[in-house]
Amino acid sequence: MDVGRIRKDFPLYDKDPEGLVYLDSACQSLRPRQVIEAMDQYYTSYPACGGRSVHRLATQVSLKVDEARETIARFIGAESELEVVFTKSCTEALNTVAFGLNLERGDVVVTTDAEHNSNHVPWMELAETKGIIRRFCRSTKDGLFDMEAFNNTMDRKVKVVSMVHTNNVNGVTIPVREISELAHDHGALMVVDGAQSAPHMHLDMERMGIDLFGMSIHKMLGPSGMGVLYGRAEHLKMLRPLMSGGGSVLETSYDHATYLPPPEKFEAGLLNYAGIIGAGAAVEYLRGVGMDEVQEHGHRLNRIMTGGLRHLEEVRLLDPIDPDKRGSICSFNVKGLTSHDVAMFLDEIGQVMIRSGSHCSHPYLTSIGLDGCARASTYIYNDEMDAKRFVDCVERMVKVFAS
């Protein structure tokens, strides 16, 4: 991967090409100028409302939205662009699923023990309000997915298996295809939180056996306030929308509404047209780089970071230790320092920017005896010098502050 060429597309590096080391892409990625320009073009050249008016500007907006939907459908291996719903976030996508499935008292939902709150709290609320039953598939001691433990959670009472594809704390990716096969054997739906996987790997919804899938565009070079819900056509048809109103209905009377078919029935209100167009541009950019290249690049940089930290006695890497099992994520703690201390020191020492805290995964961190961790996460604009500078700054911090 030609990182030097790629970095030229990101305006942040124009100001200080050597000074900044941005290692917080698992929270939010940077955006290339191709995405920014696509969004600016909407505001300057056809700043109208799509799907309602019939004049030329509105028609151009509608065509651009259709193009973005088709681009994303190809990117994730959907059978049709009509299986792609635009949301404001992966969180909204997962909430749409949880509250739209019409689950009943006694229905069982299986998740991992390491879910982001976006795939934990909605199910917890349904347990409190509707009486559904939660079951947790416990990770192995080294943080990996345990297929035997998952098998033991399954029976015909399970209606939904909803799991994070790539974990945002330890970077572990679960074997979705094998999990979905077992879920379907028991008559359960396979729901996947793809916020961390979609930016870093090749996806194929059909081959992987995924029924419903949420993704965050802001983690994959796209604008903030944009997400996607993928759903197989038969499931979107049955799913109840989280919101309703203008743009989602065909016609109404004083006592009845006829909904439009998916995806429109889930897209009530004025859409974020600039965000949708930017999402399409972001996906096109990633397609140009190549997702296999993206994935291997993340592993390559993680090997450098892990290799540099694992010999430091004051540093504890979160399991699994093998960087090839953690994708682009390197989470750790430093003896005697809070994770926030670590993040602030790295920023001050070398302009190295990482994430700290609980990462919206409180139950999992508590289960392994932690109240938080520092997390460095790479993406396509990071190079080996970034990884080495990160290690160097951690070493300097340990020498001065750790005890």
Distance CA 317, CA 332 (A): 4
Name the active-site residue from 90, 330, 360, 393.
Answer: 360
Query: If DSSP states are collapsed to H, E and C, what string results for 159-210?
Result: EEEEEECECCCCCCECCHHHHHHHHHHCCCEEEEECCCCCCCCCCCHHHHCC
Query: If DSSP states are collapsed to H, E and C, what string results for 285-341?
Result: HHHHHCHHHHHHHHHHHHHHHHHHHCCCCCEEECCCCCHHHCCCEEEEEECCCCHHH
**Residue 360 is among the residues annotated as catalytic for this protein:** yes
Q: How far apart are the first and last CA of the chain?
A: 39
Helix H or strand E segment including 357: strand 355-357
The radius of gyration computed from the CA coordinates of the chain, to the nearest angstrom, equals: 22
Nearest CA-CA partner of 101 in 191, 187, 214: 191
Q: Which DSSP category does 375 fall into?
A: E
Instruction: Give ∠ CA 289-393-350 in degrees, rounded to 5.
Output: 75
Q: Is 74 exposed, middle or buried (0-12, 13-18, 19+ CB in 10 A)?
A: middle
The token duo for 290 is 């190549």
Beta strands, E only, 4-48: 21-22
* Residues whose CB falls within 8 Å of the CB of residue 121, separated by 6 or more in sequence, listed in order: none
Residues paired with 316 in a beta bridge: 333
Distance CA 165, CA 156 (A): 23
Beta strand pairing call for 355-357 and 373-377: antiparallel
Q: Which residues are catalytic?
A: 360
